């Protein structure tokens, strides 16, 4: 069942759990995410970032893809979500992660996304409010939920780069939500983008608590979102390095701290890096355990790339020559089916684990499901 995140946020607030929001770059990951969420009877948020949409749209230089190229990727991703999820019994939202302009956000809504994020955090406070309000007014007309961002996260994620973090001020959050009418607000409270978040990361949950209390006092219903929240598990990094990778100084957000943040009021947690790491581990393991697969020219290219650049863990770097097969519903060759399975298994493993950790397991049946048309009337 496709819907926006509004019904999901309502239940997450009521039952005090967090929605895992999982970034995907291929149809195999979409299929896997829906399958594991169905097994655990969990609501599901599938995310496509701007650069990911360019990649799915067939562009190898996806970071510099044009709006038309991104829109092609958006339409392909929306088609995949509809194919695998439209008749599912769990609620599914397709969310745009880090939309950086009104034009990109509009393209996502027009392409079939049911939820969008407008990231104006790099702009001045007033400019951020202005563009976020403009996006919200457009999206709500179609029943599409909107996430804004206030505060800056350190690190690198596609085209979002910052050297330092700027924590979100609770009173600024109140003013921002009042003036923009967003459904959710991504805040800065100690998380960061990428696989090198540093050692001994400490989240500032009191910031979450303060914002939550301010929202309650002002009768505001925006949910709090945590970006840059991948765990970057030590055992996965170790396995990758033992299989030939070279990941150094990798570290993430401990699950224990994320659970504390959930108790404080976080209701959506973004996960991207973990999925990349699990995918890299699975493919390296596949090449080691089934060397005959390297007789396939396209797969051998992947192997050689990963061998030459062992620090690369983003599948979009080393799977570029497979973009057509990653974004196709056609039956793969026997060898490519093994690659597809490795990608799917990686997504199912980490997403299933986090569904349990974040507390959304068995929650799908409680969602007050509404169509986008019904939600548009509510917003109006």
| Given 97, 183, 272, 314, the catalytic residue | 97
Closest CA to 19 of 351, 278, 378, 368: 351
CA dist 147 and 5 (Å) reads 10
Q: Which residue bears the tokens 């973090």?
A: 165
Number of H helices, E strands in the chain: 16, 10
3-state secondary structure of 73: helix
CA dist 193 and 157 (Å) reads 6
CA angle 218, 358, 98 (to 5 degrees): 65
Q: Are 129 and 176 in contact (CB under 8 A)?
A: yes
Q: Which residue bears the tokens 């599409």?
A: 144
Closest CA to 160 of 99, 69, 115: 99
Outline where DSSP puts E strands in the chain. Answer: 19-23, 44-49, 92-99, 115-118, 145-150, 155-157, 160-162, 184-187, 223-226, 266-271
Q: Are 225 and 147 in contact (CB under 8 A)?
A: yes
CA angle 162, 200, 248 (to 5 degrees): 70
Q: Are 299 and 306 in contact (CB under 8 A)?
A: no
CA dist 121 and 256 (Å) reads 27
Q: Are 12 and 35 in contact (CB under 8 A)?
A: no
Catalytic annotation present for 274? no
- Residues assigned a catalytic role: 97
């Amino acid at each position: 069942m496709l819907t926006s995140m509004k019904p999901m946020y309502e239940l997450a607030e009521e039952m005090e759990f967090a929605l895992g929001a999982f970034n995907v770059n291929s149809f195999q990951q979409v299929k896997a995410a829906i399958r594991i969420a169905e097994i655990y009877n969990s609501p599901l948020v599938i995310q496509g970032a701007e650069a990911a949409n360019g990649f799915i749209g067939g562009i190898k230089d996806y970071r510099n893809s044009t709006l038309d190229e991104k829109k092609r990727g958006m339409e392909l991703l929306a088609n995949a979500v509809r194919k695998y999820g439209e008749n599912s019994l769990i609620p599914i939202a397709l969310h745009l992660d880090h939309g950086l302009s009104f034009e990109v956000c509009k393209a996502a809504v027009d392409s079939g996304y049911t939820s969008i994020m407008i990231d104006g955090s790099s702009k001045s406070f007033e400019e951020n409010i202005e563009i976020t309000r403009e996006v919200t007014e457009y999206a709500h007309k179609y029943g599409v939920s909107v996430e804004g961002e206030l505060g800056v996260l350190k690190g690198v994620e596609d085209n979002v780069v910052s050297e330092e973090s700027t924590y979100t001020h609770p009173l600024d959050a109140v003013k921002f939500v009042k003036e923009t009418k967003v459904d959710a607000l991504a805040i800065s409270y100690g998380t960061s983008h990428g696989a090198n978040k540093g050692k001994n990361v400490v989240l500032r949950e009191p910031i979450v608590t303060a914002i939550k209390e301010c929202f309650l006092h002002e009768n505001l219903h925006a949910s709090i979102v945590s970006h840059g929240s991948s765990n970057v598990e030590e055992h996965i990094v170790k396995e990758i390095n033992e299989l030939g990778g070279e990941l150094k100084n990798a570290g993430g957000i401990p699950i224990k701290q994320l659970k504390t943040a959930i108790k404080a009021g976080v209701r959506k947690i973004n996960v991207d890096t973990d999925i990349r790491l699990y995918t890299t581990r699975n493919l390296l393991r596949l090449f080691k355990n089934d060397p005959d697969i390297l007789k396939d020219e396209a797969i051998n290219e992947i192997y050689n790339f990963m061998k030459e650049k062992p620090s690369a863990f983003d599948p979009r770097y080393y799977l570029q020559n497979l973009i057509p097969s990653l974004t196709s519903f056609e039956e793969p060759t026997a060898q490519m089916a093994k690659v597809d399975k490795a990608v799917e298994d990686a997504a199912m493993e980490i997403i299933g684990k986090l569904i349990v950790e974040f507390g959304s397991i068995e929650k799908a049946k409680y969602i007050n499901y509404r169509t986008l048309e019904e939600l548009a009337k509510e917003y109006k």
